[in-house]
Amino acid sequence: MGTRFIHTADLHLDAPLKAIALRDPDLAHQVGVASRTAFSRIVDLCIQEAVAFLLIVGDLWDGTSSTKTPRFLKQELMRLKGAGIRCFIIRGNHDALARQTGELELPDNTHLFGARPSTVDLDMDGQQIAIHGLSFRDPHATDSLLPRYPAPKPGAFNIGLMHTSLNGSPGHDNYAPCSIADLEGHGYDYWALGHIHRRAEYSGRATIVMPGIPQGRDIGEAGPASVTLVSVADDRSVTLQQRTVACLRFERMALDCTGLSDWTDLLSLLERAIRQVGGAERSEDHLVIRPVLQGATALGWRMARDLDRLTEEARAFAAAAGVWIDKLEVLTGDAGCAPADAVTHLPAELVEAVLTDLPQDPALAKALQATAQDLLRDLPADLRDLLGQSEGELEQRCKELLTRGAPAVLAGLTLDGAV
């Protein structure tokens, strides 16, 4: 008959969503409960598929949790217990053993691997399964964990649970690095990985799966998300299936604005695109989109200047289409220069001063940096990296803001007051 199990990782229950909350509190609420909904759906999937066990490979928690989350987690694990399904968990960098706070006792169907490597042996109707795991005690792991894992059990289908960045991935800390070749050489049949939020599969001497995050939390985790249903046949061959449990999906939506010169035409384009994406078939309950306005258009300067108004227009269209707007990005060809109409209505020396001299003025740059530092001091501690993490990064970011803001200054100085 073989054995089947679900492999997931990186649920990040109760991850903070302060950046989204600043833009849209209603959207923040939807995203805030999405990780719990995804976990409930994982449990539903385990029960529906009658799997033998569930693997959670690190970062089940985000590091902190509300008082209700431990109770929620235990209730879900108890549902698995009621269905005769076991659960095996390791801790990653976000939920390292040193960060345990206010958690409840796990039910006896759930095994949490500790800071020392260990193995759980299972007999699944005559098929021997050996599950090896190791939780990290501290949030940082600069060395490979692989040498600490036990040798494979002879005659068993060996599964290793490891939270690792492999050879590194953009946007993820370097955590317990190792290579695919190293994992294959260890002798296990299946490596259940976690940490990188993008799905990846490797099939060779071992089957190695990074399932990705099952529920995206922001536009940086756009696209489909899934968990992995693994089937192990009697001959130890492995079959993988992706299953979606997310209730919410983030997507970027590129809009070509090339040649547009009328604001009404821009709004019509935006409305049509939002209505189309809202009507498309999807497996998730909610869709959050970020329109990205691109192309060479005379409206580029006005898009940048009136981005707040344009965003509200987009959110009105989105509400009618049954989707959410994260925010708008303006990447049009005119975003970095003044509109032709503004240039012809203003003295050439003024245009030159605003577009060229102001961004290079050291006194203005110094004043802007001082203002930025004052602003950052008034922000919550977890938002103070918005303009960089060093004095050099702050200086560079301020220069970029000066360059991008100069066209908006010209837009407000047009002599005829045209909009």
What is the DSSP track for 163-214? Answer: E--TT--TTS---S---HHHHHHTT-SEEEEES-SS-EEEESSSEEEE---S
Single residue among 243, 262, 283 that ends a domain in this structure: 243
**If you average pLDDT over every residue of the chain, what do you get?**
85
Same structural domain, 275 and 392 = no
**Sheet with 190-194: strands ordered across:** 118-124, 127-133, 157-163, 190-194, 207-210, 200-203
Task: Quote the DSSP letter at residue 353.
Answer: I
Q: Cα-atom radius of gyration of the chain, to the nearest Å?
A: 26
User: Average of pLDDT values for 286-292?
Assistant: 93
Q: Does 163 share its domain with 309?
A: no
> Same structural domain for residues 239 and 257?
no
| Residue 22 and residue 125 share a domain | yes
Look up residue 372 and give its amino acid: A
* Residue 371 belongs to domain spanning: 336-419
**How would you class 60 by CB atoms within 10 Å of its CB: exposed for 0-12, middle for 13-18, buried for 19 or more?**
buried
| AA letter at 413 | L
> Based on the domain organization, do 169 and 130 belong to the same domain?
yes
Q: Which of 16-30, 50-64, 232-246, 363-377 has the lowest mean pLDDT?
A: 16-30
Q: How many domains are contained in the chain?
A: 3
Give the lowest-confidence range in 25-39, 255-269, 354-368.
354-368
Whether the pLDDT of residue 254 is over 60: the answer is: yes
80 with 219, same domain? yes
Quickly count: other Cβ atoms within 10 Å of residue 222's Cβ.
16
Q: Which residue has the tokens 């431990």?
A: 70
pLDDT of residue 360: 77
Same domain for 206 and 351, yes or no, is no
Spatial distance between the Cα atoms of 108 and 78, rounded to a whole number of angstroms: 9
Q: What are phi and psi of 80, to 5 degrees?
A: -65, -45
Let me know: does 176 contact 144? Beta carbons within 8 Å: yes
Dihedral of alpha carbons 377, 378, 384, 386, sign: negative
Task: Identify the domain boundary among 308, 333, 358.
Answer: 333
Same domain, 56 and 188: yes
How many angstroms separate the CA atoms of 212 and 294, rounded? 30
Q: Mind listing the pLDDT tens digit for each residue in 336-366? A: 444 444 444 566 667 667 777 777 788 888 8
239-to-94, 209, 234, 242, 347 alpha-carbon distances in Å? 30, 12, 12, 10, 70
Least confident of 37-51, 151-165, 199-213, 323-337: 323-337
Determine how β-strand 127-133 pairs with β-strand 157-163: parallel
Q: Dihedrals φ, ψ of 363, to 5°?
A: -65, -40
% residues pLDDT > 90 (the chain): 53
Q: Return the closest-CA partner of residue 3 out of 161, 124, 155, 158.
A: 124
What are φ and ψ of residue 151, in 5° steps?
-65, 155
For residues 274 and 376, state if they share a domain: no
Asked which of 305, 333, 361 is the last residue of a domain, the reply is 333
Per-residue model confidence as pLDDT tens digits over 194-204: 999 999 999 99
What pLDDT score does 340 carry? 47
Residues 83, 214: one domain? Answer: yes
Tokens found for residue 154: 């002879």
pLDDT value at residue 382: 64
Nearest of 130, 162, 165 to residue 148 by alpha carbon: 162
Considering the domain architecture, whether residues 100 and 235 belong to the same structural domain is answered as yes
